[in-house]
Chain A
């Protein structure tokens, strides 16, 4: 048989050699095969990509614009993926390496340990980051931290009166963002704008700035798109929606009732608050009560004086009329009757009244009333009345005063409309992240009301949410009308808020540990930016049949924890 022949002929070392060679071949043939497809642009043209947006597009993170943040902005990451599909260079107005600079002049926040707990710690800002580099432009990343939609088409936004983050790289002082973007004749653009049209208001607790009216927003978006399209009729692009910024850690980290205290602390706070309210309000209440009581006392004194004056004046008028009647030849008895009749007559009464009023106006009687009133006010009876009323009023105030209990208590918030000057926070009100500095301060007393600009009330929340909804309707409409890719970041952030899993890592909107938001609680970490990149990739691929690769969000560093 053939087989057995085969076996006999092969010596053992040869058999081994063939065995090893064949096994190697078989192993190689059984090796799993998977090949990565190469990215393509589809119907899009990525050769000149220009990104328009605000801080989120610029790569602003940890409260500052700094180099590493710019290098991991979603726009930058997206441009790197576009490069693999025919995209061109993507220039960025990089700031020098270092702490960078934020809106308030400070540098990036870093996580540090203070008193055993991890807190974001500010670093000094680098003012050289704002030096002019517009002569080295143009730049593909045209995003400007702080820009609102309404700023995009504004000429002079890069001037000394405009925005320092645009001024540093604007082509000239009179330029607008859209003008400088259009001048580059982009083949592809992304537009993610509008957050600041509500954020300025929201991040100040509704105490300053305002929500951009929708009419102005619409007009600015239309002008911006028209400006871009004028530069390239075949322009393609992607428009992203504004997420509900109130789901960012800046607004969600501190619960309205985060005053967590023991029973003893609550008792002390209650006593303290009552004492403070009582002693603080007493002079005011006392003055009010005294004023009210004095009005009554003065009225009585005046009445008494007036009665006396009236008696005197009536007697004088009667005597006068009687004297005149006798002089006219009337008998004593007739003159008496005439005088009585006059006093009772309308004319007589009128005359008396006028005379009394004249007398009452005189300085002499006024002084008399004042002194009588003052004398009455110091009388023991009136004093007792005043004290009783003051107590009654104070008690009324204290009844309306919040009571601290053991466990979780709402914050107190400044409120000018409230007689106490403050109110208790309600569920649905948002305490803003900067309040962390106040409430983590060991000297913080929960009985001290938080300033109004650290709290977004329910009405203010509604105003912000309505603004975002209106803006997003407009953005969707513009994307649809122009057949641009529509990137629904609003929907995406809603997903992140409930936990978004990427390659085994769950991202959330939790401050610091959620992984998506940086230490300022409003802007993205590099990982968060990568997740946003992937949303752009998905929407662009779907619209333009391109095959851009998403990025591995987990390979970025995220928030850096100290050792």
Chain B
């Protein structure tokens, strides 16, 4: 992949500012923006210990924290998607609602060996709104996926070298989606459906962390798959009165899977000032087979609407650096390659996913021993990708190109 203008701009921006700290925007609708320090380092985090954000990145490392602590952070996703229609050669784009994923972690060291904590974070989300009347409006006008995971966690240090941890994840979220219905009223007004629902799902997060020597630590974690099931969503149709009886407002069921993630990583300190971190994730996206809305009543003669997704499992490769300029000031940089889980033909207007390069930069500043301020900026450069719509995907043919700039900041307090 050729480094784009986006990369140079990112490099320039960071060099001139040594900017803020960590977050990421990953394949599918997953959000990987759970720790500002980690974002700054290419979103690596399974292999080193830092603060309470290990609750997310590796529960096994929580017991290794020197002190109890609380971290609160958030990111701002400025994203845009453009679409060049394969048929009409017209370019359309999304309006850019700003996504604001956040993460809050609190970890308490019970004693030298044991720690307990709670994480509250945004595991996935998506906020896409295409301009009114765009070519794909019958596939999607807008979508807003929101979710929050609450993860109580316990971690235990077996010995000086190895520690393990486990957390239970309870995720609750909401989906709101509108798309056009291809019926026109006699006065020319268009029809649409709005699908709204809330649901929840549970899963777990396991981790093991090992400090092999003073310079090298490794870690592994497994976040289970879970699914956010919507039981009582509401489908609201705006259609011409004469056909309204065919489109009754209905309740629906739907399920959005959260993929499992296996992470393996290593962190190495060639010198006291430098930390190098490398990591690979294997994301179980094949759980996302279809997007199905099952109605409790017949809608235009059909009890469900099914759009195939057929996602494939995918890897993410990550690399990050942290350099201590001073004892209390750190600069960070990282990059990752996120393989798209979306097979050819199944790109959609809601997640126009493609292979992605992320470039990140960050700084960390310590105020005394107690307070950490971390900031990051992540540049997401998705490859331009052409989609020839698969017949069962209910999507569009054309070229999608998406990008995002995601600054974020967090404050941590250790006690």
Contact = CB atoms under 8 A, between A and B. Distances in A.
5 contacts: A26-B379, A503-B136, A560-B185, A561-B184, A561-B243
Say what secondary structure dominates the interface of chain A.
mixed
Interface-centre pick from A1, A29, A118 (highest chain B CB count, 10 A)? A29
Contacts of B87: 502-503, 534, 549-552
B353 to A, nearest CB: 13
Contact of B85 (A26, A513, A552): A552
Interface residues of A, number: 50
Interface stretch (A30-38, A341-349, A356-364): A30-38
Contact of B78 (A1, A27, A555): A27
3 closest A-B pairs by beta carbon, nearest first, are: A504-B139, A29-B9, A32-B401
Nearest to B86: A550
B106 interface: no
Interface string B1-23: 00001101110110011110000
B13 A554 contact: no
B300 A513 contact: yes
Interface stretch (A17-25, A145-153, A192-200, A211-219): A17-25
A39 interface: yes
A454 B309 CA distance: 46
A196 B289 CA distance: 47
Interface string B176-198: 00011011111110000000000
Interface string B359-378: 00000000000000000010
Interface in A7-60: 7, 15, 18-19, 22-23, 25-37, 39
Contacts of B399: 34
A505 interface: yes
B329 to A, nearest CB: 7
A559 B184 contact: yes
B414 to A, nearest CB: 24
A558 interface: yes
A563 interface: yes
A30 B9 contact: yes
B161 interface: no
Contacts of A554: 135, 137-138, 180, 182
A561 B384 CA distance: 40
A515 interface: yes
Interface string A311-339: 00000000000000000000000000000
B395 interface: yes
Contact of A504 (B83, B138, B187): B138
A29 B184 CA distance: 40
Contacts of A549: 87-90
A402 B399 CA distance: 60
Contact of A33 (B9, B397, B401, B405): B401
B206 interface: no
B407 interface: yes
Interface of B: 5-6, 8-10, 12-13, 16-19, 78, 80-85, 87-91, 93, 133, 135-140, 179-180, 182-188, 239-243, 300, 325-326, 329, 331, 377, 379-382, 384, 389, 391, 394-397, 399, 401-405, 407
Contacts of A380: none
Interface in A462-514: 501-505, 513
Nearest to B184: A557
B6 to A, nearest CB: 4
Contacts of A6: 18
B138 A503 contact: yes
A4 interface: yes
B251 to A, nearest CB: 23
Contacts of A502: 87
A562 interface: yes
Interface in A119-178: none
A19 B184 contact: no
Contacts of A18: 16-17
A13 to B, nearest CB: 14
B396 A503 contact: yes
Contacts of B18: 3, 6-7
A26 B12 contact: yes
Which of A27, A36, A559: most chain B CB closer than 10 A? A27
A277 interface: no
Given A3-B18, A4-B326, A561-B186, A30 B89 contact: no
Contacts of B397: 503
A71 to B, nearest CB: 15
Given A29-B10, A504-B137, A504-B139, 19 more contacts: A18-B16, A19-B17, A22-B17, A23-B405, A26-B10, A26-B379, A26-B405, A29-B9, A30-B379, A32-B401, A34-B384, A37-B89, A503-B139, A503-B396, A503-B397, A504-B180, A555-B133, A560-B188, A561-B243
Interface string A523-563: 00000000000100000000000010111101101111111
A269 interface: no
B17 A27 contact: no
B242 A561 contact: yes
Contacts of B136: 503-504
A166 to B, nearest CB: 32
Contact of A563 (B83, B185, B325, B384): B185
Nearest to B401: A32
Given A33-B82, A501-B391, A515-B182, A4 B188 contact: no
B393 to A, nearest CB: 9
Contacts of B183: 558-559, 561
B265 to A, nearest CB: 27
Contacts of B401: 32-34
A563 B19 contact: no
Contacts of B379: 26, 30
A563 B405 CA distance: 45
Contacts of A368: none
B396 A504 contact: yes
Contact of B91 (A31, A35, A552): A35
A26 B9 contact: yes
Given A503-B396, A534-B87, A558 B17 contact: no
A113 interface: yes
A111 interface: yes
Contacts of B12: 22, 25-26
Contacts of B380: 30
Contact of B240 (A32, A504, A561): A561
Contact of A562 (B16, B241, B395): B241
B88 A552 contact: yes
Among A4, A26, A534, residue most surrounded by chain B Cβ atoms (within 10 Å): A26
Given A4-B325, A22-B13, A22-B17, A32 B403 contact: yes
A552 B135 CA distance: 7
B9 A25 contact: yes
B90 A36 contact: yes
B402 to A, nearest CB: 6
B6 A503 contact: no
A27 B90 contact: no
A110 B136 CA distance: 28
